[in-house]
């Protein structure tokens, strides 16, 4: 075991040398002792556990160029690099109880109060990217103030993420907590996330010419607070998703709670959300969503790659409150089918912003490649020539409790949506709208 004591000097070379030596010796633990460890980019090697002892703080420097050696094959929101990186490694781990204090504040370059968000820098590093790794373990660490996606696992197999805490700025976009991208055999449990963007998010990104799948993913006993979507599949959905479970979780003070979003050609099948309590509120237009307890949307945004179908979806034993509606909407060529809602009890209440009265179909084709003369930020929000946000669609006749037009094989078993006796302005008299 290698023990590294804290120092005021930049510790990148010292920590990396210890990791490399442990790997060369066949594996082992590198421990950061109590105190601050200032660092640039680090690469984890096979067989190595990076352990942050009690009181240890890994403090990455606020310089994008410091991570030029950690280039990821998956570009995310303009980011091509990571603070902590591994590729093709096996049996790797980062463990606590220490913490990583990332430099997110340094990547805020302005504020757009009209949509409720800070303006991020064009280039921001992700805290962690592991690509094509096997036997990955993240346990007991705390990560604070990520500049961009916090934990990004790409095409990894046999992954355990336990007792991890993520605390990010709740107005800085793209600070997703945990992104599980084209991975298989993943267990996430006893994780706590508070962030501006998605909490636990499953994706299937396009990795050059390669498209992977997300399969056999279980997320349980987690607490998530998100200004976007707390527990989510999509929107990057080039490959398929299959056998995904979210269970026994709490969604706290969030915008959207549970979401499935098909956009890029992959099929989404066999997904279950069980025993989840939630609290959903409206947010300003800079965040996707409008206070929905659950949302399933399917929309074509690429002319050469229509959105894939969604089927075999179960929501059961879901309780809580929302300021938006339950949405199940397809505007694409493919269908949403075989959806079951069982034992759902939601209290629908009016919000202060009024954004819940719109069905949010973002991201659209306009968000992928915004026209130069339109105001906004790519893959976030775009204002049309009329000044309205593209993708926000008023509900016909006002906001219902459940909006699910044209969905085949939709089963509603014990669905209760409690509404005010005196319906607010802009609400639909109908609780449930289905065809």
Is the model's pTM score more than 0.75?
A: yes
pLDDT of residue 372: 77
Could you tell me if 175 and 146 are in contact, meaning their C-beta atoms sit under 8 angstroms apart? yes
Beta strands in 255-290 (DSSP E): 256-262, 268-280
Q: Cβ neighbours of residue 304 under 8 Å, at least 6 residues apart?
A: none
DSSP state of 5: -
Q: What is the per-residue pLDDT for 422?
A: 97
Residue 198 burial (C-beta neighbours within 10 Å; 0-12, 13-18, 19+): buried
Q: What's residue 247's pLDDT?
A: 98
Which neighbouring-strand residues pair with 43? 85
DSSP 8-state assignment for residue 105: G
Please identify every stretch of the chain with a pLDDT value under 70, giving residue numbers as ranges: none
Question: Distance between CA 41 and CA 23 in Å, rounded?
Answer: 17
């Amino acid at each position: 075991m290698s023990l590294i004591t804290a120092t005021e000097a930049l510790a990148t070379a010292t920590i990396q040398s210890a990791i490399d030596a442990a790997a060369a010796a066949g594996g082992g633990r590198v421990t950061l002792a109590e105190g601050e460890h200032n660092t640039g980019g680090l690469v984890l090697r096979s067989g190595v556990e990076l352990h942050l002892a009690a009181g240890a703080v890994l403090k990455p420097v606020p310089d994008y160029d410091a991570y030029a050696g950690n280039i990821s094959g998956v570009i995310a929101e303009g980011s091509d690099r990571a603070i902590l990186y591994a590729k093709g490694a096996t049996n790797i781990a980062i463990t606590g109880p220490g913490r990583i204090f990332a430099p997110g504040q340094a990547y805020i370059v302005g504020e757009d109060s009209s949509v409720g968000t800070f303006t991020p820098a064009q280039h921001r590093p992700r805290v962690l990217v592991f690509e094509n790794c096997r036997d990955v373990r993240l346990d007991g660490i705390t990560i604070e103030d990520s500049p961009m996606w916090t934990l990004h696992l790409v095409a990894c197999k046999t992954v355990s993420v336990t007792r991890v805490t993520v605390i990010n700025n709740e107005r800085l976009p793209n600070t997703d907590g945990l992104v599980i991208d084209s991975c298989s055999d993943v267990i996430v449990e006893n994780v706590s996330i508070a962030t501006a963007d998605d909490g636990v998010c499953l994706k299937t990104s396009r990795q050059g010419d390669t498209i992977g799948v997300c399969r056999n993913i279980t997320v349980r006993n987690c607490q998530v607070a998100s200004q976007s979507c707390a527990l989510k599949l999509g929107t990057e959905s080039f490959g398929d998703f299959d056998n995904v479970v979210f269970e026994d979780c709490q969604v706290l003070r969030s915008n959207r709670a549970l979401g499935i979003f098909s956009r890029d050609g992959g099929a989404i099948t066999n997904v279950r959300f069980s025993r989840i309590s939630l609290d959903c509120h409206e947010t300003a237009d800079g965040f996707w969503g409008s206070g929905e307890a659950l949302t399933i949307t399917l929309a074509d945004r690429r002319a050469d790659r229509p959105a894939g179908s969604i089927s075999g979806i179960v929501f059961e034993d879901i309780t809580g409150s929302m300021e938006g509606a339950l949405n199940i909407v397809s505007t694409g060529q493919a269908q949403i089918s075989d959806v079951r809602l069982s034992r759902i009890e939601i209290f629908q209440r009016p919000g202060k912003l009024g954004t819940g009265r719109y069905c949010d179909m973002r991201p659209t084709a306009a968000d992928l490649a915004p026209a130069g003369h339109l105001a906004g930020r790519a893959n976030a929000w775009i204002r049309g020539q009329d000044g309205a946000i593209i993708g926000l669609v008023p509900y016909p006749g006002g906001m219902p409790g459940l909006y699910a037009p044209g969905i085949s094989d939709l089963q509603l078993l014990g669905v209760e949506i409690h509404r005010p006796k005196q319906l607010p302005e802009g609400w639909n008299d109908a609780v449930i709208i289905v065809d």
